[in-house]
């Protein structure tokens, strides 16, 4: 690693963030008619006309604009965008009778799916806490705390720990199997850690700190593989490993086989998730003011698995997933995993000083900048072949939104700045 490399990489990311990525979103996402955000764009950046506004896309968009404003970008414009999104979220997606946020409305704000999905509620906590931190508007923290309280009342599994995830509108559990009531996931609990971290940063309330510590302990003891330190995707309610299946309301539909079961359903782990978990844990420990060495063994295992097995040293980038013991199952390149390992490998380098992590960062950085970024339009290709040819071509939909890409650029620039300052 040289100072010249650091400056070059930082400039490439800064140029993309400020001249391409943020302008892509600020130019087209605001729904001036009904409020909230339009989130479905084709490969040319044109609105595809999908008549839906999902909780996940609206909350992630709010988080994106609030966090970018807090990081010093946008000259106030991004704070206004975040406020625009919050206005829609609170007026159209909040359930005034039962509390919590609906899963989906149409563009005009009519509720299409009234269910309460913990994955979505976690992003509501995350974005609203970030919004208050960024703007000082107390509405964000007030609603974030209400959602937190609802999760403690209805979603906590008092017998086995953790959170149930799939509920009807009135917070009664849905059915088993694909309805999801008898399963728990890495995904939801990792994002609860992320959400509780920002909630605690915002409120400094002891109960928020306590529940954050509780979910960290659960992730490390129950959800990460006891030998390899890698994320296990799905469990039964009692934390026995469950075959990974597709839920009725689910992210990543198209990554499953036709029968709704994942390949190698009981032995698969995501390299991107493992790196994301590790850097989010490091951030949580910073907010909690707990030494990172407290979980050093877990952090090293998560990062090491990604670099040992997930990095494509031939074509660049990070693979999708493989077994806990190391075999690679899926050698395609998914946008969000590249975004998360950029942050993760920089944190791993800063944690360990191991040059392998800098080499891995440089590898993924080059793949992302040269192949995954659609510089002409401004966003990233969602899924590519191993060699870097687009497979999916849309720039955005409910699950492929600005959260991973913008956050990756902001957080990677921040870490490159820290490395430069240390020199």
d(C-alpha 130, C-alpha 110), whole Å: 26
Local confidence band at 64 (pLDDT 50, 70, 90 cut-offs): very high
Looking from the CA of 318 toward its CB, the CA atoms found within 13 Å total: 36
CA Rg, the chain, in Å? 20
Residue 14 lies in a domain: no
Residues 152-165 pLDDT 10s: 999 999 999 999 99
Considering only residues 2 and 99, tell me which one the structure prediction assigns the higher pLDDT.
99
pTM over 0.85? The answer is yes
Same domain, 253 and 275: no
Would the pLDDT of 99 be above 90? yes
Instruction: Tell me how many domains the chain contains.
Output: 2
| 260 and 292 fall within a common domain | no
Contact 170, 95 (CB under 8 A): no
The answer to whether position 307 is within a domain reads yes
pLDDT in tens, 199-215: 999 999 999 999 999 99
pLDDT average, residue stretch 360-381: 98
Strands 53-54 and 104-105 turn out to be antiparallel
Asked if residue 6 lies in contact with residue 349, where contact means CB atoms within 8 angstroms, the answer is: no
pLDDT of res. 243: 87
**Residue 166 domain-assigned (yes or no):** yes
- Reported confidence tier of residue 244, pLDDT bands at 50, 70, 90: confident
Q: State yes or no: pLDDT of 405 exceeds 70.
A: yes
The torsion of the CA quartet 247, 38, 273, 231, rounded to 10 degrees, works out to -20
Domain membership flag for residue 12: no
What's the pLDDT band for 231 if we cut at 50, 70, 90? Answer: very high
* Residues 253 and 282 grouped into a single domain: no
pLDDT band at 376 (very low <50, low <70, confident <90, very high): very high
Question: Using an 8 Å Cβ cutoff, are 65 and 78 in contact?
Answer: yes
Closest alpha carbon to 232 in 260, 192, 264, 197: 264
pLDDT band at 245 (very low <50, low <70, confident <90, very high): confident
Together in a domain, 285 and 219: no
Residues 206 and 65 in one domain: yes
Distance (Å, whole) CA 139 – CA 230 = 37
Using the predicted structure, report yes or no on whether residue 101 has a pLDDT greater than 60: yes
Residue 15 in any domain: the answer is: no
Residue 280: CATH number of its domain: 1.50.10.10
Question: What pLDDT score was predicted for residue 173?
Answer: 97
The mean pLDDT value for 142-148 works out to: 98
Return the pLDDT at 253: 47
Residues 86 and 72 in one domain: yes
Q: Is the Cα dihedral 55, 43, 408, 15 positive or negative?
A: negative
Mean pLDDT of the chain: 95
pLDDT at 423 over 80: yes
Backbone angles phi, psi at 116, to 5 degrees: -110, 105
Please check whether residues 276 and 383 belong to one and the same domain: yes
CA–CA separation, 302 and 294 (whole Å): 15
Q: Based on the number of CB atoms within 10 Å of its own CB, is 357 exposed (0-12), middle (13-18) or buried (19 or more)? A: buried
Share of the chain above pLDDT 70, in %: 96
> Does 254 share its domain with 343?
no
Does residue 201 share a domain with residue 75? yes
Domain match, 238 and 124 both: yes
Within this chain, do residues 242 and 327 fall inside the same structural domain, yes or no? no
In this structure, are 243 and 318 located in the same domain?
no
- In DSSP terms, 390 is beta-bridged to 384
pLDDT tier at 264 (50, 70, 90 boundaries)?
Answer: low
Q: Residue 275's closest CA among 218, 334, 222, 217?
A: 334
Whether 19 is covered by a domain: the verdict is: no
Report the C-alpha gap between 11 and 345 in whole angstroms. 18
Residue 389 has pLDDT above 80, yes or no: yes
pLDDT digits (tens, 9 = 90+) for 15-56: 999 999 999 999 999 999 999 999 999 999 999 999 999 999
Q: Give the per-residue pLDDT at 262.
A: 54
What average pLDDT does range 115-143 have in this prediction? 98
Enclosing H/E stretch for 348: helix 335-352
When pLDDT is averaged across residues 174-187 and rounded to a whole number, the result is: 92
pLDDT at 346 > cutoff 70: yes
- Does residue 18 form part of some domain? no
Residue 248 CA, chain-centre distance (Å), reads: 20
Q: Which domain holds residue 205?
A: 31-225+234-267
Model confidence at 261: pLDDT above 60:
no
Lowest mean pLDDT among 77-81, 127-131, 225-229, 264-268: 264-268
pLDDT at 257 over 60: no
Using alpha carbons, select from 164, 152, 69, 52 the residue that is nearest to residue 105: 52
Cβ-based neighbours of 128, under 8 Å, separated by 6 or more: 59, 62, 86, 89, 139, 140, 141, 143, 144, 147
Q: What pLDDT, on the 0 to 100 scale, is given for residue 265?
A: 56
Q: Which of 382, 346, 378 is nearest to 363 (CA)?
A: 346
Instruction: Report yes or no on 13 lying in a domain.
Output: no
């Amino acid at each position: 690693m040289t100072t010249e490399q650091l400056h070059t990489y930082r400039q490439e990311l800064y140029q993309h963030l400020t001249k391409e990525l943020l302008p892509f979103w600020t130019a087209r996402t605001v729904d001036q008619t009904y409020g909230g955000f339009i989130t479905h764009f084709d490969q040319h950046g044109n609105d595809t006309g999908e008549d839906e506004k999902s909780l996940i896309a609206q909350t992630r968009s709010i988080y994106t604009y609030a966090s970018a404003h807090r990081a010093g970008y946008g000259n106030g414009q991004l704070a206004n965008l975040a406020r625009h999104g919050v206005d829609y979220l609170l007026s159209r997606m909040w359930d005034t009778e039962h509390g919590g946020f609906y899963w989906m409305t149409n563009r005009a704000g009519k509720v299409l799916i009234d269910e309460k999905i913990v994955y979505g509620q976690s992003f509501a906590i995350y974005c609203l806490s970030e919004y208050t931190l960024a703007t000082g508007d107390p509405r964000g923290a007030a609603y974030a705390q209400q959602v937190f309280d609802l999760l403690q009342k209805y979603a906590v599994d008092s017998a086995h720990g953790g959170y149930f995830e799939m509920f009807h509108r009135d917070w009664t559990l849905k059915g088993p199997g694909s309805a999801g009531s008898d399963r728990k996931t890495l995904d939801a609990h990792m994002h609860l850690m992320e959400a509780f971290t920002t909630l605690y940063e915002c409120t400094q309330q002891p109960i928020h700190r306590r529940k954050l510590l509780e979910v960290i302990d659960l992730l490390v003891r129950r959800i990460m593989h006891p030998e390899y330190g890698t994320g296990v995707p799905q469990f039964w309610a009692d934390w026995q490993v469950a075959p990974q299946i597709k839920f009725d309301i689910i992210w990543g539909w198209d990554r499953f086989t036709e029968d709704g079961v994942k390949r190698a359903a009981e032995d698969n782990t995501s390299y991107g998730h493992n790196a994301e978990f590790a850097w989010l844990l490091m951030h949580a420990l910073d907010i909690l003011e707990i030494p990172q060495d407290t979980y050093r063994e877990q952090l090293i295992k998560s990062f090491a698995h990604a670099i040992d097995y997930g990095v494509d040293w031939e074509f660049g980038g990070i693979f999708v997933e493989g077994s806990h013991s190391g075999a690679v199952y899926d050698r395609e390149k998914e946008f969000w995993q590249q975004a998360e390992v950029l942050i993760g490998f920089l944190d791993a380098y800063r944690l360990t000083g191991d040059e392998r992590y800098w080499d891995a960062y440089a590898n993924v950085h080059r793949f992302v900048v040269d192949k995954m970024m659609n510089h002409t339009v401004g966003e990233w290709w969602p899924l590519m072949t191993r060699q870097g040819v687009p497979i999916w071509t849309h720039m955005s939909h409910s699950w492929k939104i600005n959260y991973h890409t913008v956050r990756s650029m902001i957080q990677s620039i921040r870490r490159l700045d820290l490395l430069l300052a240390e020199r």
